[in-house]
Chain A
Amino acid sequence: AQTVTQSQPEMSVQEAETVTLSCTYDTSENNYYLFWYKQPPSRQMILVIRQEAYKQQNATENRFSVNFQKAAKSFSLKISDSQLGDTAMYFCAFMNSNYGGSQGNLIFGKGTKLSVKP
């Protein structure tokens, strides 16, 4: 069974600084997808970034980028120029590749609580 591990329960960063959140996963599959979701306090979960395992290039979305190391099964999230609005729980998630009608549920880590301080 696939598992996702986030080893940092809490982190803090000063506004405008850069922070990296760690995520490792375990799978025997070769094709899969990885995601980072953000869950602000009392608000709904939103997608930050996604990565296809077959792509060697790391995904980027504005201030958010990932360091995807397939052999090491590592998928870290870097947030540059941190803003107060980045304060949230961040969840790393894994999805098996699915084709046609097969299962596509997400497997989540326990999350990292990020606090951005002014």
Chain B
Amino acid sequence: DTGVSQDPRHKITKRGQNVTFRCDPISEHNRLYWYRQTLGQGPEFLTYFQNEAQLEKSRLLSDRFSAERPKGSFSTLEIQRTEQGDSAMYLCASSLGGMASGGLGGDTQYFGPGTRLTVL
């Protein structure tokens, strides 16, 4: 078990550019979550996948944000036409949830180290 990994760890970009972040979950985990954390705040939920299905995406901050998990393994989060307000830490978490965990709910989420985005 190597834990949740995220790449890159830091990204500096200019306003208007597109950026893509990658998350590799713990290998046997079927659920994958994306959160955004701004300075002095707790993480804010963005979207989540169960296997390759995106089950919740209404919390994505705008239509500039999109996420994929094409084979039910790693996931990518893309931000198009970045704005300075997008500067934040983007966290990924994974869990063994739903019926895979016996359907009991309350699956514990394990977090990656995050990708810190700075938009100039």
Contacts and interface: CB of A to CB of B under 8 A. Distances in A.
Contacts, number: 74
Nearest to A105: B45
Interface string A37-56: 10000011111001010000
**Chain A interface helix/strand/loop/mixed:** loop
Contact of A104 (B31, B111, B113): B31
A33 to B, nearest CB: 4
A101 interface: yes
Interface string B81-116: 000000000010101011100011111111111100
Interface string B10-54: 000000000000000000000101010000111111001010000
Nearest to B53: A101
Nearest to A95: B106
A118 B116 CA distance: 31
B106 A50 contact: yes
A8 interface: no
Given A44-B112, A45-B111, A104-B31, A97 B98 contact: no
Contacts of A28: none
A91 B43 CA distance: 9
B68 to A, nearest CB: 18
Nearest to B50: A101
B113 A43 contact: yes
A105 B45 CA distance: 7
Interface string B39-77: 011111100101000011001000000000000000000
Given A105-B48, A108-B42, A109-B42, A47 B108 contact: yes
Interface in A79-118: 91, 93, 95, 97-101, 103-111
The number of chain B residues touching the other chain, given as a range, is: 20 to 34
B105 A97 contact: yes
Contacts of B50: 101
B105 A108 contact: no
Contacts of A111: 40-42
Given A97-B106, A105-B48, 16 more contacts: A4-B42, A35-B108, A37-B111, A45-B43, A46-B111, A47-B110, A97-B105, A98-B97, A100-B99, A101-B98, A104-B95, A104-B107, A106-B45, A107-B45, A108-B42, A111-B42
